[in-house]
Structure 1
Amino acid sequence: MPVLTRSLWFFLALSGAGIVLAEQAALPYLPANQFRLADYLPPPPAIDSSLQQSDLKAVLAAQAVRSSAQVSQVQQDDEWEDSVFHFARESLGVGFSVERLPLTRAFFRRAQEDLVQFLMPAKHSYGRPRPYEASALVKPVLPPPEGDSYPSGHSMNGYLNATLLSMALPEKRSELFSRAQINADSRVIAGVHFPSDLEGGKISAAVLAARLLDDPSAAVDFEAVKKEIRGVLASTD
């Protein structure tokens, strides 16, 4: 018997709107030309500015006290695939899993495609060097990430996860946004971002969340996601 593809498994397992959502998991919701993320962001500090020097000092200060436990954590947080499940596992418990939440997985995969398609042009427009490119004193503990430094994609992804999950589970908002802050800070600890990159990512997440939920298709799918999350977490309490 031939091995079924992941998409076909989704097709067989789901019905109604959920089928469409799962089948299109790799497609962004929004057209690439809908908006420019850079239009919503302040520019990063200029290379020769005092703000840039403060940013670099913060990276070096984090590096000076970096522990092996922190290195292990930032390496785990570096993963992108199905990152929302790693992101929220501690806050939402073992029931919040890939296996139990196929609609949630598909929705967040599509949202992440939107993130990438708007993030990368913004990075390119600013062309900010990474901390280890700006100073040989910075010793990163991760492989060189894709794209330039500003804004931070991991920060954007973490805050996007926190924003959307908080809309589904308002009672978990504080925990989820605390987790987003930890996730963002890990990029400075790792030596691959400046603190101001994280702020750019946070703003970017708010912009994308609003744009996504203004899209009719994404909004319908998100309603299904909220019901799925509530149902699964209630069954595992």
Structure 2
Amino acid sequence: MRQRAVARLLLQSTLLLALASCATPPLEKVAGPDGRYRGYLAAAAVPSSLVQVPPPPAPGSAAMALDEEIAQRSFALRNTPRWKQAAQDADLSFPHAAGIFACAVNTAITEADTPRLYRLLQRSLADLGASTRSAKKHYQRPRPFMVNKEPICTPEDSEDLAKNGSYPSGHNAAGWGWALILAELSPEQADAILVRGRNYGESRNVCNVHWHSDVMQGRLVGAGTVARLHAEPAFLADLAAAREELAAARKKGLKPQTDCAAEAAALAITPSLAQ
């Protein structure tokens, strides 16, 4: 009898350890004063934008003419709700950035309500941003406002932006990458999410901080990085946990904390920036 009891305890202990090993790992932040999360990818595994994208459009080319035309169209949006929305889209700090796609997903995305999804967005942002750096550093393309001398929607950022290459767009790599991730998590909202991802990239044109080709190539780099992330077990684990969180949030009836009607009205005000 005693041997059976010991065997039963050993079996129970084994099962508990197995269950613990399958559990989602705890939320651990990177050590440091900014509290940022580390990305999922090791530095050597981050896709290279310098390898992926062609050189930026040459002066006098048809592609550069299109870049300049779209930049000029954005001037008409200055001080409109669309301009203000573009300024809001420029802010990739958390918790603000977690709500960028909340209206498209039709669910609140917060650290308290959806912590795994919140972490997924933070950690993937690190990888998506890193993926654009090699081409940015190599080409050091001047941003539109540096060429046309027109205002931008976040003037407080102008000095830092001028030091950072325009091509390809890091913001749009993040925005489009997030759109693809969220469309996978919430396929029933895929159309709305992908449209928001496109509009997010256009916000960089509206702000006069990125050329059209910067935005388009940022989208390509973002998509490639998301594809690479799907080979990372930690990313897949957070993806699965985030899917469950979204389902639970919908059952609770959690709604976006953003004014979705105002956002939709602002995004409807646009020149012909769509591709």
CA distance, structure 1, for counterparts of residue 214 and residue 93 of structure 2? 22
Q: Which moved more, 1:48-57 or 1:179-188?
A: 48-57
Contact kept in structure 1, 2:66 and 2:212, CA below 8 Å: no
**Count of paired positions:** 221
Aligned amino acid, residue 148 of structure 2: S
Find 2:184's aligned residue among 144, 167, 170: 167
Tell me the TM-score normalized by structure 2. Answer: 0.74
Separation of aligned partners in 2, 1:71 and 1:65: 6
Verify the 8 A CA contact 2:84 2:153 in the aligned structure 1: no
**Percentage identity across paired residues of the two chains:** 24
CA distance in 2, matches of 1:64, 1:43: 29
Equivalent residue number for residue 30 of structure 1: 41
Tell whether 2:95 aligns with 1:78. no
Give the corresponding residue for 2:247. Answer: 230
Q: Please name the residue that 1:62 is paired with.
A: 74
Distance in structure 2 (CA, Å) of the matches to 1:200 and 1:216: 27
- Asked if the contact 1:17–1:221 (Cα under 8 Å) also holds between the matched residues in 2, the reply is yes
Please report the TM-score for the alignment, with normalisation by the length of structure 1: 0.85
Cα distance in 1 between the residues matched to 2:61 and 2:53: 18
> How many Å separate the matches in 2 of 1:198 and 1:168?
24
**What does residue 171 of structure 2 align with?**
154
Task: For residues 162-189 of structure 1, give each alpha carbon's deviation from its aligned partner in whole angstroms, at most 9, with x where no partner exists.
Answer: 1001111111110001111111111111
CA distance in 2, matches of 1:96, 1:30: 23
2-structure distance, mates of 1:59, 1:38: 24
Deviation of 1:66 (Å) = 3.4
Mapped partners of 1:72, 1:41: distance in 2: 30
Rounded Cα–Cα distance in structure 1 between residues aligned with 2:79 and 2:191: 26
1:92 paired with 2:99, answer: no
Q: Any conservation in 1 of the 2:50–2:135 contact (CA below 8 Å)? A: yes
Q: Matches of 2:234 and 2:111 in 1, distance apart?
A: 22
How far 1:22 moved relative to its partner?
Answer: 4.0
Aligned partner of 1:184 in structure 2 is 201
Cα distance, 1:225 vs structure 2: 1.4
**Long gaps (5+) in structure 2:** 1-21, 31-35, 255-275
Deviation at 1:141, TM superposition (A): 2.3
- CA distance in 2 between counterparts of 1:132 and 1:95 reads 35
Listed as ranges, the gaps of 5+ residues in structure 1 are: 1-14
Residue 51 of structure 2: aligned partner: 39
Task: Give distance in 1, aligned partners of 2:54 and 2:133.
Answer: 16
The residue that corresponds to 1:207 in the other structure is 224
Moved more, 222-231 or 176-185: 222-231
Compare 90-99 and 153-162 and name the one that shifted more. 90-99
Matched with 2:153 is: 141
